[in-house]
Amino acid sequence: MSATASAIACVGVPASYYFVPFGHACRHIYTDDMNLVMFSDSHGARPTIPEGDVLCVAGDVFCGDDLQSLRSDLRWLGSLPHKRKLFVQGNHDLVLKMQSNAEELLAEQGITLLNNNSIDVDGVRFYGVSYGATDIQPCDVLMSHVPPAGVLDKGLYGKALGCPRLLTAVQRLKPRVHLFGHAHESAGHTKIDETDFYNCAERPTSVHIYTGSVAERPIASD
Ligand SMILES: [Zn+2]
């Protein structure tokens, strides 16, 4: 760690928010950090979503029966203030899956569907795994609906819901962040090796990630 970075003081903020994912023991905010906001598994509810730069939605949000409810949920997501919105489908997003123009419907509300592909936002590469898929490409932030096996993946009655092949892929590619949902009972954060894992099911979560060299960054606030 550089002298500049090590001189920055830690501050007390609500522990559930503002994780610093990259090996630092405390939170620092720099002027051009990216604020990542994530949630999943709202199942038609509309939780309060923290403000931020990039909204990552990890599936099971569109759980109505018809196009009208889908459009209503889409408008709600579209009304949120984040400048970029990324979405991966969950197993319950059937009403979206049934639409032949799903990608278009999302795009109308400023939402990008990630379906085994990546997108770069301000130098940060996001890759979204579609539900049931396990192949991932190198990225900074990985989004999937299901957890990797053994990581924040226990569902009801302790049943493991994670995917072993996804775990193998994550261990190989080591994204900086892997966010997912699906296992509602295991929402939270853990860090293994270089990767910060967030299960954001039913728990909208906000984290800061660095987009470049720590040492060169002017501090915005602490
Ligand atoms: Zn699910």
Rounded distance from Cα 17 to ligand 1 centre (Å): 23
pLDDT at 87 over 80: yes
Rounded distance from Cα 89 to ligand 1 centre (Å): 9
pLDDT at 176 over 50: yes
pLDDT at 13 over 50: no
pTM attached to this predicted model: 0.83
Q: What is the mean pLDDT of residues 175-187?
A: 96
Rounded distance from Cα 153 to ligand 1 centre (Å): 11
Rounded distance from Cα 74 to ligand 1 centre (Å): 18
Side-chain-facing half-sphere of 18: CA atoms under 13 Å: 15
User: What whole-number distance in Å separates Cα of residue 206 and Cα of residue 54?
Assistant: 10
Cα four-point dihedral sign 141, 144, 150, 153: positive
Choose among 43, 35, 40: nearest CA to 63.
43
Rounded distance from Cα 14 to ligand 1 centre (Å): 28
Contacts with 17 (C-beta within 8 Å, 6 or more apart), sequence order = 50, 205, 206, 207
pLDDT at 189 over 70: yes
> Coil, strand, or helix at residue 61?
coil
Task: Report the 10 Å Cβ neighbour count for 88.
Answer: 28
Rounded distance from Cα 103 to ligand 1 centre (Å): 20
Rounded distance from Cα 217 to ligand 1 centre (Å): 38
Rounded distance from Cα 145 to ligand 1 centre (Å): 6
Give 190-195 contacts, CB < 8 A, sequence gap 24+: 190/151, 190/152, 191/21, 192/151, 194/22, 194/23, 195/170
Rounded distance from Cα 72 to ligand 1 centre (Å): 20
Tens-digit pLDDT profile for residues 56-81:
999 999 988 899 999 999 999 999 99
Rounded distance from Cα 168 to ligand 1 centre (Å): 20
Task: Look up the CATH number of domain 3-221.
Answer: 3.60.21.10
